[in-house]
Structure 1
Amino acid sequence: MEAKITANKLGEYLTASARRRRSIIKTIQEEGGFPAMHYTDARNAICDYLSGNISSQQLLEKSIELKNYVSDNNFSQSTKNASGAAIEDFIELEDEIVVKNCLIRKGSDFQENSIEISGVKVGAKPDLMLLSADTEEVVGCIKFHFSQSASLEKDSAEYTATIMKKHLEDNYTGGNKIDPKKILIIDNPTGEIYEAPKSTKSRLKDIEAGCEEIFARWEI
């Protein structure tokens, strides 16, 4: 099987202990590299709202609907209830998300969702793409972190932001400079918002080394 990992998980991997790194590789192999998202309903609703497809009232109604969802399938009920709570968290932090002079588009409307680094396919799908209001060229993106089990660490978020920046430069801008302040990694449970570092050269070397390690261990 091809070595695969998501950008969020790679960011975690790069800041993890040796023991945790082995565990991450084992888990992503079992999940096929790109695991099913447990917050799909929250992600879709929030992206619909921020891209202007639904109103704030509709977003609130979606949160209530999901929080009150009942099913004989415990997994289905728990994931939908969690998505409802995640939307509620987002509503609390919404005013902290400031994006100036940009058009906001759903990431699912764009074809390229991954980047290859040192033999590893890295899933780098933005939740939302940010386009210049003047030229409609890609200038940044937004990616959410929804997990309630572990807060997003600053170093991990900045690695993820660096990966997303490289993804946009390689796949959408022909190497043109992306605005680091418009690469936003949002930890939804805590409300923390991280931007891409101004300088990414050192982090890119760490990312390449980490992917080399994942590739070498993938079949072990």
Structure 2
Amino acid sequence: MVVGKVRTSPRISLNKLGEYLVSKPGRRRTIIRDQKEPSDFIVARYAEAKRIIQDCLVSGGADVRPVNRAIEGFSGSYETKWQKDTAILCASALRAFLRMSASIPLNGFNPVRGIDNPEKMNISGVDVSVCPEIILLAPSQDNAIVGGVKLYFSKNNPLTEDASEFVGSVLYRYLSEVTSSESAVSYKNCTVVDVFAGKCFIAPKTYKRNMNDVAAACAEIYHLWNVA
């Protein structure tokens, strides 16, 4: 494993925060350590698959020919085992996406690519990297942000119902508070997509209790950051 820069300030990705909230104490410590000293290789695993899925959704999702061409491209030769394994995983992710792409709800809004390094959401002293892959805009409201899509990639650890509700709740609050006006964003337009499991989870209508649990989990991460 290649470890990148050690992070001195507490931060966590949204998908890992969702896992953290439904994990046992030992796994929680491991998640904190992995977020503190992230592996560059792990971070990059699905980067290309994510980009291709974003392109497909931004185009409306109807034309999947570029996705099929990308899958074929991943069958080439590679110099290292890591490159080969990454290509196999990305191809698998894209095949899974093709099986469920039509079920991803864009709700008639205009999908645009989320920026790569957007503003983070600070919760209880922890910077949460939400990074929606897709932002939904409403032309009838002067391109107001009304929702978004968060992609989840894990071949062996599908997103649980409870974890998806936490991720969806944070996604909804992030789009409401950090990037837009709360009146324009609807939980109905905030979707978490488990690519490998082929499931779409809509953010829950009742999010306040979830956000209380999220705040408590982030407070725990903050206090454990330098001892995990």
TM-score (norm 2): 0.89
Q: CA RMSD in A?
A: 1.9
**Aligned counterpart in structure 1 of residue 174 of structure 2, from 167, 174, 178:** 167
Counterpart of 1:6 in structure 2: which amino acid? S
What's the counterpart of residue 59 of structure 1?
Answer: 67
SS at match of 1:36: helix
1:68-83 → structure 2 map (5 Å cutoff): 68-83=75-90
Q: Describe the superposition over 1:125-169 as per-residue Cα deviations: whole angstroms up to 9, x where unpaired.
A: 001001113121101100111110201101101101111111111
Query: How far apart, CA to CA, are the structure 2 residues paired with 1:207 and 1:37?
Result: 26
TM-score (norm 1): 0.93
Listed as ranges, the gaps of 5+ residues in structure 1 are none
Q: Is the contact made by 1:112 and 1:171 (CA closer than 8 Å) also made in structure 2? A: no
Query: How far apart, CA to CA, are the structure 2 residues paired with 1:124 and 1:172?
Result: 11
Do structure 1's residue 176 and structure 2's residue 193 form an aligned pair? Answer: no
Q: Is the contact made by 1:151 and 1:187 (CA closer than 8 Å) also made in structure 2? A: yes
Query: How far apart, CA to CA, are the structure 1 residues paired with 2:72 and 2:39?
Result: 33
Q: Describe the superposition over 1:43-63 as per-residue Cα deviations: whole angstroms up to 9, x where unpaired.
A: 000101110199421221011
SS at match of 1:26: helix
Counterpart of 1:118 in structure 2: which amino acid? S
Q: Describe the superposition over 1:75-122 as per-residue Cα deviations: whole angstroms up to 9, x where unpaired.
A: 11211221111111111111212322200000127x634211110010
What's the counterpart of residue 190 of structure 1?
Answer: 197
Do structure 1's residue 23 and structure 2's residue 30 form an aligned pair? Answer: yes
Do structure 1's residue 120 and structure 2's residue 126 form an aligned pair? Answer: yes
Query: How far apart, CA to CA, are the structure 2 residues paired with 1:147 and 1:113?
Result: 25
1:102-181 → structure 2 map (5 Å cutoff): 102-108=109-115, 112-135=118-141, 136-176=143-183, 178-181=185-188
Q: Is the contact made by 2:114 and 2:133 (CA closer than 8 Å) also made in structure 1? A: yes
Bigger CA drift: 206-215 or 44-53? 44-53
Listed as ranges, the gaps of 5+ residues in structure 2 are 1-7
**Aligned counterpart in structure 1 of residue 206 of structure 2, from 199, 202, 220:** 199
Q: Is the contact made by 1:39 and 1:82 (CA closer than 8 Å) also made in structure 2? A: yes
What's the counterpart of residue 84 of structure 1?
Answer: 91
Give every structure 1 segment of 4 or more consecutive aligned residues whose post-TM-superposition deviation is greater than 6 Å: none
Instruction: Using the aligned pairs only, state the percent identity.
Output: 25
Q: Is the contact made by 2:165 and 2:203 (CA closer than 8 Å) also made in structure 1? A: yes
Aligned residue pair count: 217
Bigger CA drift: 164-173 or 38-47? 164-173
**Aligned counterpart in structure 2 of residue 93 of structure 1, from 90, 100, 120:** 100
Query: How far apart, CA to CA, are the structure 1 residues paired with 2:45 and 2:66?
Result: 21
User: Structure 1 pair 9/84, CA: closer, same or farther in 2 (3 Å)?
Assistant: same
Q: Is the contact made by 1:113 and 1:126 (CA closer than 8 Å) also made in structure 2? A: no
SS at match of 2:150: strand
